[in-house]
């Protein structure tokens, strides 16, 4: 198990249990306590967990305006993201122009797009990982948005990116999120990404929110949009039933990708 995957598993264990002892993490992951302590210090330095005596506790990193490194995020809820990516591809049609938002869930959409024959698809993205995933695929035209590169997260932002978007039009925007709640709508950790998301919503006929169930019932500092601007939600089958009731009450179409829920997650 590489370091990024191990640290992602540690984050998930801490989030699921609230507090977990260092020795217990070491046993579950099959590595030495010394290695786990090193990982915990690294995650604590990023303010993703809090070190307590003998173990670690979760923190609300959304409110601290911090997030795991991209390489770690790839492994967080990976099976859920993969299922969502596959489900999202079924929403894409030949001759579509789509926008793939930045992030690891949309990267899974790009990955699954590689396994289907397309005719005249255009993909607009500000995400270097997504562009690289699709750039060799026949009949997929990739429009890579330029701008300032966000360090270590492989995505472009800034006024140049926004200027390009204002001159484009898309059939569908697959919106990635940091958090979403009934009261505050769609929110984001990084302020600089918000105008990109908002412009993508503005120029798209449909906005399809793609997010694993861990993103719901939480709030990040910066507002992206309200629920009235979301056409459809694609998430995993472990989402809390209260969110499904909210979607139904507000006439928001949703699709649940079939996933095996972790112990303690709602079904």
Radius of gyration of the chain from its Cα atoms, rounded to whole angstroms:
19
**pLDDT given at position 209:** 98
Do the domains 77-257 and 3-67 match in fold?
no
The Cα 105–Cα 178 span in angstroms is 11
Return the CATH architecture of domain 3-67.
Orthogonal Bundle (1.10)
| Most confident range, picked from 1-10, 30-39, 257-266 | 30-39
What's the pLDDT at 251? 94
pLDDT at 67: 78
Dist CA 234 CA 41 (whole Å): 35
pLDDT above 70: percentage of residues in the chain:
95
Q: Which of 196, 201, 211, 205 is nearest to 247 (CA)?
A: 211
* Alpha helix ranges (H) inside the chain: 3-17, 22-29, 33-45, 70-73, 78-89, 104-113, 128-134, 159-165, 194-202, 241-249
Please, are residues 100 and 120 in contact by the beta-carbon 8 Å criterion? Answer: no
Q: Is residue 267 scored above 60 in pLDDT?
A: no
The full set of domain ranges for the chain reads 3-67, 77-257
Q: What is the distance, to the nearest Å, from the Cα of residue 208 to the centroid of all Cα atoms in its chain?
A: 13
Least confident of 19-23, 66-70, 134-138, 243-247: 66-70
pLDDT, tens digit (0-9, with 9 covering 90-100), for 172-221:
999 999 999 999 999 999 999 999 999 999 999 999 999 999 999 999 99
Assess contact for 172 and 96: CB atoms under 8 A.
Answer: yes
Average pLDDT of the residues of the chain: 91
> Two tokens at 264?
């303690």
Is 77-257 a CATH 3.90.1310.10 domain? no
Separation of alpha carbons 189 and 221, rounded Å: 6
Q: Is the model's pLDDT at 136 over the cut of 90?
A: yes
Task: Give the span between the Cα atoms of 136 and 208, in whole angstroms.
Answer: 25
């Amino acid at each position: 198990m590489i370091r990024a995957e191990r640290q992602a598993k540690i984050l998930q264990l801490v989030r699921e249990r609230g507090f977990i002892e260092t020795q217990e993490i070491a046993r579950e992951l099959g590595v030495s306590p010394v290695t786990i302590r090193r990982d915990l210090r690294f995650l604590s330095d990023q303010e993703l967990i809090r070190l307590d005596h003998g173990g670690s506790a979760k923190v609300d990193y959304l409110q601290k305006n911090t997030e795991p490194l991209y390489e770690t995020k790839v492994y967080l809820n990976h099976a859920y993201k993969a299922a969502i990516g596959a489900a999202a591809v079924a929403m894409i049609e030949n001759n579509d122009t789509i926008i793939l938002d930045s992030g690891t869930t949309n990267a899974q959409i790009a990955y699954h797009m590689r396994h289907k024959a397309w005719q005249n698809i255009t993909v607009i993205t500000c995400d270097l990982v997504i562009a690289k995933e699709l750039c060799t695929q026949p009949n997929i035209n990739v429009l890579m948005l330029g701008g300032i590169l966000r360090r270590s997260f492989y995505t472009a932002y800034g006024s140049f990116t926004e200027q390009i978007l204002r001159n484009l039009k898309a059939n569908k925007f697959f919106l990635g999120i940091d958090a979403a709640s009934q009261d505050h709508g769609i929110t984001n950790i990084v302020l600089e990404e918000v105008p990109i998301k908002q412009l993508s919503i503005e120029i798209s006929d449909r906005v399809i929110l793609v997010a694993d169930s861990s993103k719901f019932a939480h709030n990040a500092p910066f507002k992206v949009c309200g629920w009235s601007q979301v056409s459809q939600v694609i998430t995993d089958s472990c989402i809390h039933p209260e969110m499904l009731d909210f979607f139904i009450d507000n006439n928001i179409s949703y699709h649940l990708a079939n996933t095996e829920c972790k112990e303690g997650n709602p079904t």
